[in-house]
Amino acid sequence: MSTDTDLRARLRDLADAAPHAGLAGDDLWRTGVRRQRLRRAVTVAGTAVAVAVVVGLTSVLRFPTALPPTEGPAELGIPRVVLPPDPWSEPTATPGPLTAVSVALRSEPVGLTETRDPLQLFGISAVDGVARFLDVPGLQININSDTVAISPDGTRVAMFRWVGEEGAAIRGWDVLDTTTGELTTLRVADQPEIVAGVFGYQIAFTGDGRYLLTSFSLDGSDKDRAKSFVAWDVATGERYVAEGPGRRWAPGVASGPNGVVWTRGRDVLTIDPVTGDRSEISVPQQLVDASFSPDGETLAYIGDAGDRPSSRAPWQFHVREADGVIRTVDVGIEPGQILGWQDATHVVVSQNGPRQARVVDVVSGDWERLVLQQEAGALMFPSRYATDLFARDTVGPAEQPDSGDPRPWMHQEVQWIGIGLLLGGVLQIWLVIRRRRARA
């Protein structure tokens, strides 16, 4: 054992056993330079790969994005094809003026991997033609399209506000201002629940867009005969009873440039809620639908050719001129609905269901074909059109922006990249282990 117990001295003594290798500075310099170049190249390559992956994913992956705001004049007419929005697109309360509304399935993420696809109301913009889901909190969609209405100018959308599950009762009617996003619920103060009933479903705006037409019982009864035909002033919430209770059937909602228009049997009735002026026109046919021309002179209507409402005879299109002369016009299809007027002498008539339509010259009786399509997913819910916009030329479908699941891991591209990274990591670990074993 050494007598030298000084750590410092013993360390120096041990260090004397260090190798005396003749390290060549030039060689080390070159090695260092090569290593630096290699590391720089690897860094550049890695950065390039990372950038490529990010750019690639950005261009491939589609996430829900807020659709562009609708800016500019609302100049578009009725779309010949109603395409729904991408299921993952974000809803909006301010889609701007609309040309049509319908429903489609909208996808929502649930948890990490689940998805739910509720029916959601969407509208076609009169500005850019893009379809946007409407953001109406708590809205439940009934497959019956009569529970939704769009104002003739496309700036308001009305819909039933159901109590709980649809079918039993409603709280009232929601009216969404599509330009401001303001949502108003029209309701009866002393009736927290309004019994709608099967025959009280249909709602519609008046031709001036001022009133929403509804049928319900003012005293809360669920009897059909207790229902009244009520016009709601959507700006003030005031209601006007156009037709009181006592009739078994709800009226047929008709249209005209002003006031409330409806049908009863063979009669077309009108009332001006402001002045109280009433009018009544009788025709020989049982009425299915009726509409006054923009100038109020001509009445176009669809009538049952038989003597009784239950007759199975084909429905026919008729024109009643201002002088009372009625003409039946063969429009080449069985008419089911009057959609709107292009001008005072041209009316758009369509079949029920598939939208084979006709633009009919009510003076000459000539007509032109018009096909109004919608994507298969919305076939159960025929589109509702902003009727004033039939005055413009119809337009083709606009390109709908793509969207996608907001969860990156649900994208197949990301899943493949994840699998690739996992395999790469495993391979890297295996290579490291193999290299270290080889060194050992």
Interface residues with other proteins (CB under 8 A)?
A: 1-2, 4-8, 10-26, 28-29, 31-33, 35-36, 433, 436-437, 439-440
Q: Which is nearer to other proteins, 10 or 116 (CB)?
A: 10
- If 0-12 CB within 10 Å is exposed, 13-18 middle and 19+ buried, where does residue 205 land? buried
Q: Which is nearer to other proteins, 3 or 275 (CB)?
A: 3
168, 210 contact by CB (below 8 A): no
Least distance in Å: CB of 421 to other proteins? 22
Least distance in Å: CB of 17 to other proteins? 5
362, 326 contact by CB (below 8 A): no
- If 0-12 CB within 10 Å is exposed, 13-18 middle and 19+ buried, where does residue 306 land? middle
Q: Which is nearer to other proteins, 22 or 246 (CB)?
A: 22
Q: Which positions ≥6 away from 219 have C-beta within 8 Å? A: 226
Least distance in Å: CB of 22 to other proteins? 8
Q: What angle do CA 401, 402, 408 make, to 5 degrees?
A: 145
Least distance in Å: CB of 38 to other proteins? 11
Least distance in Å: CB of 32 to other proteins? 2
Distance between CA atoms of residues 215 and 227, nearest Å? 6
Q: Which is nearer to other proteins, 16 or 190 (CB)?
A: 16
273, 290 contact by CB (below 8 A): no
Least distance in Å: CB of 27 to other proteins? 9
Q: Which is nearer to other proteins, 363 or 426 (CB)?
A: 426
Least distance in Å: CB of 44 to other proteins? 15
Phi and psi at residue 15, to the nearest 5°? -65, -20
Distance between CA atoms of residues 144 and 197, nearest Å? 13
Residue 285's identity, in one-letter code, is: Q
The token pair that represents 112 in the structure block: 């990490």
Q: Both ends of the chain: CA-CA distance in Å?
A: 35
Q: Which is nearer to other proteins, 11 or 379 (CB)?
A: 11
Q: Which is nearer to other proteins, 20 or 308 (CB)?
A: 20
Q: Which is nearer to other proteins, 363 or 433 (CB)?
A: 433
Least distance in Å: CB of 420 to other proteins? 25
Q: Which is nearer to other proteins, 7 or 110 (CB)?
A: 7
Q: Which is nearer to other proteins, 10 or 278 (CB)?
A: 10
Least distance in Å: CB of 16 to other proteins? 8
100, 82 contact by CB (below 8 A): yes
Q: Which is nearer to other proteins, 419 or 432 (CB)?
A: 432
Distance between CA atoms of residues 250 and 29, nearest Å? 97
H or E element, residue 209? none
Q: Which positions ≥6 away from 143 have C-beta within 8 Å? A: 103, 119, 380, 381
Strands 267-271 and 260-264: antiparallel
Least distance in Å: CB of 36 to other proteins? 4
Distance between CA atoms of residues 191 and 72, nearest Å? 42
User: 172-193 burial string, b = 16+ CB within 10 Å, else e?
Assistant: bbbbbbbbeeebbebbbeebeb
Q: Find the radius of gyration of the CA atoms of the chain.
A: 35
265, 290 contact by CB (below 8 A): no
Least distance in Å: CB of 24 to other proteins? 8
